[in-house]
Every structure is written in C-alpha cells, then in structure tokens.
Amino acid sequence: MTEHTLTVAGVAVDTRHWIGGERVASLETFTDVSPIDGSTIGEISRGTATETAAAVAAAKAAFPAWAATSRAERARILHAIADGVEKRIEELAIVETTDNGALLRSHRRGVMPRVAHNFRFFADWLLKLDHEDFETRGHTNHVSWDPAGPCVLITPWNAPLMLATWKVAPALAAGNTVVLKPAEWSPLTASLLADIAAEAGLPAGVLNVVQGYGSEIGDALTSHPDVRRISFTGSVPTARRIAESAAGNLTPLSLELGGKSPLLVFADADLDLAVDLAVEQYDNAGQVCLAATRFLVDESVVEEFTRRFVLKATALRQGDPRDEATDIGPNIHPRQLEKIDGFVRRAIAAGARAVIGGHRKDGQYYAPTLLADVAQDSEIVQEEVFGPVLTLQTFATEEEAVRLANDTRFGLAATVATGDPERAERVTSQLVAGTVWVNCFFVRDLQAPFGGSRHSGVGREGGTWSFDFYCDVKNTVTAPNGWKNHG
C-alpha cells in the first residue's frame, strides 16, 4: 500500500485522479466520510483547474485514435470492462455501500450487475446501430453517427457507479473520450472503475477521472472550449449553472434533474399492489430521483390504503446497510439530513400531520415519513426532498387526479395503479412525465428513452437516443450518376 491508497472493507482504493492513463495526486485533499457511522474513510485528492485542464487535454489527445477505432474493437473493450466489473462485484458493492450508505444486498444483486450490463448493452447496441438508407429523387441518403469529441460527465452520489456508467458506456461506445467527475460525497467506485478500464485495455486518456468539489472545478470543466458534450445528473440549481457555463461554447447538454413524481391510486386498483408500490418509494432511504413521493389516492379508498400502508411501512427495518436484513439505510451526509428534517419541520409547522415518522433518528438516519393534510401549493408538495419523506393527498375524480399530478414544475416520472386498462390509457396520455409506470415501478430497459420534462431535465438518453446525443449525426446524400468517370 502507498500513502495514496485506502483500504476500504479490505479493498484497496487509490485516492488520486486518473488522467492520461496515470495516477495524479493533488496538493490538497478532501475528507470522505461514511454515512453508516460517520467515520472517516480517508483523504481524497482534491482537484483544481490544473487537474481539470490536464484531464481535458488528455481526452483531446486520445480522441482521434479512439474515434478511429473500429466499432468491433470498441465493443470488445467495453465487454472486457464488463468482465472486469463482474469479477469485482463483491468489492465494488462493499466499497460503494461504505461510501454512500445504500444497501449492500442491493449493490450485490442489482446495482453492480447493472453496471456491467451498461457496458454490454451499449457495446452490443453500437454494433447494430444503423439507419436504413432512403431515396430522395433518385439520390441516396445515408445516416451515420460520428464521434463528437471529449465529453464531461458529472454524476450524483445516490447511485454513483451505476449512474456514472450509464453515461460512460455510451460515450465510449460512440467513440468519444471522457472526463468523469464523480460526486464528492461518493467518489470511491469511480476510482476503481478507472483501474478496471485500464486492465481491460482501454487506451490511456480515453477515460479520465477527476475528483473534487463541483463548486471548485465544475466551471473549469463545463466552460472548456475543447469539451464537445456535457451530461449531468443532479439538482436544478446546479444544472442552471452548468448551462450558463456551457453557453459560451454552445456545448450540447443532457440534463437529468429532480423529480416530484406522483403515485396515482384509483379506486379500482389492486390495493395490495398499490401499497407495495407505495412502500417501495422508501428505496435507498428515499434518495431516488424517480421516486413517486406524492401519493394521490381516490378519497373512497384512502382510509384502507393508509391503514395497509402504515402496517407495511412500519415493518421496514432501518439500520446498518451492510446487514442483509436491513430495508432502509442512512442518508448520505449530515447536510442532506438537515435539509430533509428542515422540509418536514416546516411542513408540520404549516399544518401537515405525520402519519408515520417525521423525525430524525440516531446518526444519519431519518425515520420513514408520510405526511398528510398537505396543501397542493405547499413547499413539501412542490419541492424535491430527496429523503424518506412522502405526502398523501386525495382526489374525487379522474380529472382532479391528473390535474394534481401535473401541478408541479417537475415531470420526471409517474406511477399509476388502476384495474381499468382504458383508464390507464386515458390517464397516462395526459401525464407530464418522461417515464410512466402502470401497476409497476422502476422497470427500466436501456433501449428505452430516459429523461424528464419541464424542470426535470433536457434531452433523452438510452438506446439510439444516447448515440444521438454523444455523436454528431450526419446525413450523406449521394447523386445517382456521380461515378461515370470512375476508373
């Protein structure tokens, strides 16, 4: 081990940046703390404009050769990265649980296998990416996807490696080079990804990882004239700053932002299913952008729905996320916990009633909370909390349910519970959301478009939509008689 290596649950993690195929240390560091018990994990290299400039320069230098690499070879390397992830699932899982507090069982069984799938999916999609040629007055139109250049990818702390590779994989598959900036509250698995990618044979400079505070290095990355794409997942205020920074160079943006999604429960719904869907919204201690945090329930069934929900929600086990029996772990950071508690305290002061929860617990744990008697225009209904806090409202008619569902500035997702397929079709056609689930939740396919409406985001990624964003899409038109002098 060296002075730049941490041992996290028995796993060696390098704390330095990864730039141009080499480890690079900064003069300053920042402290990484585990939300499980507040213990210090270690000191992480704290990037400055110097490191960001070096990373972009490395990505720019590596771009021509990687862009010229055949689709088959790029796909082979992405599959090799997936192989490396699968060999280290247990290590990646325990490191990320230590770093961000999400359930170890979820990391083992779902999240880290999805990380590998991200690389495999986009490798395979690259090989079949095509658009059929078409004719215009005898001329042939041929559509192609050209690599755009260096990409800056800024990722969140709630699902660090899964959401990072959701961006890294298509960007690399498209023939671009990458500068990845992981969230400062959960940087460790991005460092491990750099090791895995290098071992898989990814050329130096194609993937670069720069750690640090967004407030200190974000602008240097997003305003850089050599950056050709920026993809960001996070808050609306940060997205505004990124958009302003990128505007000078007209750098294209993909923004996946906040949500305040509804769960609509109609009287004809299977109530047991509806309650299961409702309790699922406490996943990852409520730190899921897609979570349906606003329950809109038909007034004729709200009493029974609430009774069943309370029984099921209060049976959830909250505690150490490394314990297989735990259902809800801690929130990521004391600052986030204070934010969550502030939302709840203000809501209760304004007249809301805590059906369950409504208070902090020891450490960085917040009790699963359901607030009733909330006004539609109240802060707790309109603003994203990003914690285990849900609200309950009622509706009398289908029209009122749709109106309430759409009455926020967000539009990321929505969930509908109903036993009537015709109602499902009517309601989903009117909901403002990038994704709508009917009688299910969190079923995700990488070939589907993903993104938000209104303040929940700009653009769509997934399948060909990802390549549309990470590439310069070109149409080549060829005349029918242009070859008569050839040969």
Tokens 């330095």 found at: 16
- Tell me the sheet residues that pair with 295: 263, 392
Mean pLDDT across the chain: 96
Q: Tell me if residue 471 is catalytic.
A: no
Percent of the chain with pLDDT over 90: 98
CB 464 within 8 A of CB 125: yes
Q: Which residues contact 330 (CB under 8 A, 6 or more apart)?
A: 35, 36, 101, 285, 321, 363, 364, 365
**Tens-digit pLDDT profile for residues 338-372:** 999 999 999 999 999 999 999 999 999 999 999 99
Judge whether residue 153 has pLDDT over 90: yes
Judge whether residue 483 has pLDDT over 90: no
Tokens 């950056």 found at: 227
Q: Domain residues of the chain, as ranges?
A: 5-257+452-475, 262-438
Catalytic position from the list 256, 384, 461, 471: 256
Q: Which residues contact 315 (CB under 8 A, 6 or more apart)?
A: none
**Tens-digit pLDDT profile for residues 27-60:** 999 999 999 999 999 999 999 999 999 999 999 9
pLDDT of residue 487: 57
Percent of the chain with pLDDT over 70: 99
Count of C-beta atoms within a 10 Å radius of residue 408: 22
For residue 60, the surrounding DSSP H or E stretch is: helix 49-68
Which of these, 194, 206, 211, lies nearest to 92 by C-alpha position? 194
Q: What dotted CATH number matches 262-438? A: 3.40.309.10
pLDDT of residue 150: 98
Architecture of domain 5-257+452-475: 3-Layer(aba) Sandwich (3.40)
Structure tokens at 180: 């990845």
pLDDT of residue 310: 98
pLDDT bracket for residue 336 (50, 70, 90): very high
Average of pLDDT values for 191-205? 98
Per-residue CA distances from 235 to 182, 209, 231, 239 (Å): 14, 21, 13, 6
DSSP annotation of 328 reads B
CA 386/CA 232 separation, integer angstroms: 17
Strands 229-233 and 253-256: parallel
Structure tokens at 397: 């008619």
Burial class (CB in 10 A: 0-12, 13-18, 19+), 135: exposed
pLDDT bracket for residue 485 (50, 70, 90): low
Catalytic position from the list 91, 151, 184, 289: 289
Q: How many CA atoms lie within 13 A of 47 on its CB side?
A: 35
Average of pLDDT values for 386-393? 98
DSSP annotation of 370 reads E
Average of pLDDT values for 426-432? 98
pLDDT bracket for residue 481 (50, 70, 90): confident
Backbone angles phi, psi at 478, to 5 degrees: -115, 130
Count of C-beta atoms within a 10 Å radius of residue 273: 14
pLDDT of residue 245: 96
CB 417 within 8 A of CB 264: yes
CA 340/CA 354 separation, integer angstroms: 14
Backbone angles phi, psi at 4, to 5 degrees: -100, 15
Which of these, 262, 95, 264, lies nearest to 195 by C-alpha position? 95
Q: Do domains 5-257+452-475 and 262-438 have the same CATH topology?
A: no
Backbone angles phi, psi at 236, to 5 degrees: -65, -45
Task: Compute the C-alpha angle 371/375/377, nearest 5°.
Answer: 125
Which of these, 460, 446, 461, lies nearest to 123 by C-alpha position? 446
pLDDT of residue 403: 98
Determine the 3-state secondary structure of 360 from DSSP: strand
**Tens-digit pLDDT profile for residues 110-138:** 999 999 999 999 999 999 999 999 999 99
Q: Tell me if residue 289 is catalytic.
A: yes
Judge whether residue 196 has pLDDT over 90: yes
pLDDT of residue 486: 65
- Per DSSP, the residues of 78-146 read HHHHHHHHHHTHHHHHHHHHHHH---HHHIIIIIHHHHHHHHHHHHHHHHH-----EEETTEEEEEEEE
Judge whether residue 70 has pLDDT over 60: yes
CB 423 within 8 A of CB 444: no
- Per DSSP, the residues of 197-227 read HHHTTPPTTSEEE--S-HHHHHHHHHT-TT-
CA 51/CA 48 separation, integer angstroms: 6
CA 160/CA 111 separation, integer angstroms: 10
Judge whether residue 213 has pLDDT over 70: yes
CA 477/CA 301 separation, integer angstroms: 60
- Per DSSP, the residues of 413-482 read EEEEE-S-HHHHHHHHHH---SEEEES------TTS-B--SGGGEES-BSHHHHHHHHEEEEEEEE-TTT
